[in-house]
Amino acid sequence: MGVEIRAAQEDELADYLRVVRYVFAAPLAEGIEDQQEKWRYDPERSLCVFVDGKLVSTYGAYDFTVQLNGASVPMAGVTNVGTLPGFRRRGFVRELVMRGLADARERGESCAMLWASFGAIYQRFGYGLASAWVGYRWDPRYGRLSGPSAEGTTEILSMAAARLTLEAVHAEYVGPRNLMIARSAEGWRRVFEPELPEQSYQRAVVYRNAAGEPRGTMFLQNREQEDHEPGPNQYLTVGDFTALDVDAYRGMWEFLAGHDLVREVTMERVPEDDPAPLMLLEPRTLRRRTMDAMWLRVADVELALSQRPYGVKDPRHDGRAGGCALTLRVVDEQCEWNDGTYRIETDGVESAVKRVDGAAELTVPVERLAQLISGYASASQLARLDLIEVGDALALTTADAMFATAYRPFCQDGF
């Protein structure tokens, strides 16, 4: 058996996509080499296993700019990882994932991120769960918010007509957040040239405040379903719910609650710290559920720790006061370049990270470091679960303050 591992070529697109579509149970549509499919595939960042010349295992990545507690950092967006049945349990995925991490490091990407079809697979490779997403299914009749009504207006537009507004509001929304992807031109192309035909029903909604400024946007798909039940028979699906302030949030929520012919509103990929449960008069109506979302793997520990803003600056002073330091022992059995002890010194604005010798205050497996960096878990939480080792109990307080985030980690985009 001859095994070759290399990037796929342009003329191997069809073979690459056939493997991906089979692994992830997607329909094998005709015209698979159509230009619309190529967003799934970047030849330069693909890695494939060929057995006796047959493509049997795939890996891909995108060049992303991701907000990390308000800072823009390059990351690898890993996708299309899979192996055909009959060729599994041979270590092909492990080899591709490890090569992908080395490639990310060489490109200056401190972390790799992915949506996992099966999280247990990626934990074996040092990925840690770094965010969650929330879903709602609620009845507009019970969707009233407490407090005053919004002061602005909403407008329903075609996606094309709203494009510039959607992009501007989204860019402002992403800026201070955590694990959100700054959409490139390609990312927006995927929004405005949707793959699925049923998405052609999608409309945009723009909320403008009393001064006429756009402060909120969302996508809608509204369908009628004859179920022969009394009451409303429409179903509304909401995506990309983006509000820059509480007035915009209220305005768009009130717009959704005003759909008298809608039986159920479905909202997917809502952040964990979404305010609806705090603002609704009847929060139980949300039927809230939580799912694992983004998995993060630190490809370059020193770079990741130096890029991340820390939660220690004091706004009452000049931003330089209140600095602190922490020594971490990072355990990484798969990427030997990461394994070691690091000293972080930060004032919250600027940070210095260097390798050191000697005892560490905390010992952290690399998958748990991903959870600290993302802000998904605190050092105290991890210590209570015996997931990290504590050499100095006072260091937990320091770590909790340093790795605190302004917003819960959340990724709005699938890839």
For residues 364 and 174, give the distance between their C-alpha atoms in angstroms, rounded to a whole number.
Answer: 29
pLDDT of residue 11: 86
Model pLDDT, residue 359: 92
Question: Under a CB-based contact definition with an 8 Å cutoff, are residues 316 and 345 in contact?
Answer: no
* DSSP code for 148: P
Q: How far apart, in whole angstroms, are the C-alpha atoms of residue 222 and residue 232?
A: 12
Tally of helices (H runs) and strands (E runs) in the chain = 11, 19
- pLDDT for the residue 316: 46
Which CATH number applies to 299-402: 3.30.1050.10, 3.40.30.10, 3.40.50.300, 3.30.1700.10? 3.30.1050.10
Residue found by looking up tokens 């509103």 in the block: 265
Q: What is the DSSP letter of 96?
A: H
pLDDT confidence of residue 195:
52
CATH number of 3-109: 3.40.630.30
Q: Which residue has the tokens 């679960």?
A: 385
**CA–CA distance, 92 with 85 (Å, rounded to integer):** 12
Output the pLDDT for position 191.
82
Domain ranges of the chain: 3-109, 134-291, 299-402
What confidence score (pLDDT) does residue 83 get? 96
Residue ranges of E strands in 87-213: 111-115, 128-129, 132-138, 153-157, 203-208
In the DSSP assignment, the letter for residue 375 is T
pTM of the model: 0.91
Low-confidence ranges of the chain (pLDDT < 70): 28-41, 194-200, 228, 313-322
Cβ–Cβ under 8 Å, residues 240 and 218: yes
Its sign, for the CA torsion 111, 117, 119, 123, is negative
| pLDDT value of residue 317 | 46
What stretches of 157-207 show up as alpha helix (H) in DSSP?
163-174, 185-192
Residue 40: what pLDDT? 57
| pLDDT computed for residue 35 by the predictor | 46
C-alpha 156/C-alpha 154 separation (Å) is 7
The two domains 134-291 and 299-402 share their CATH topology (first three levels equal):
no
Task: Give the number of C-alpha atoms closer than 13 A to the C-alpha of residue 355, restricted to the C-beta side.
Answer: 9
CATH number at 134-291: 3.40.630.30
What amino acid is encoded at 233 in this protein? N
410 Cβ contact list (under 8 Å, min separation 6): 131, 132, 133, 177, 178, 179, 180, 271, 272, 273, 293
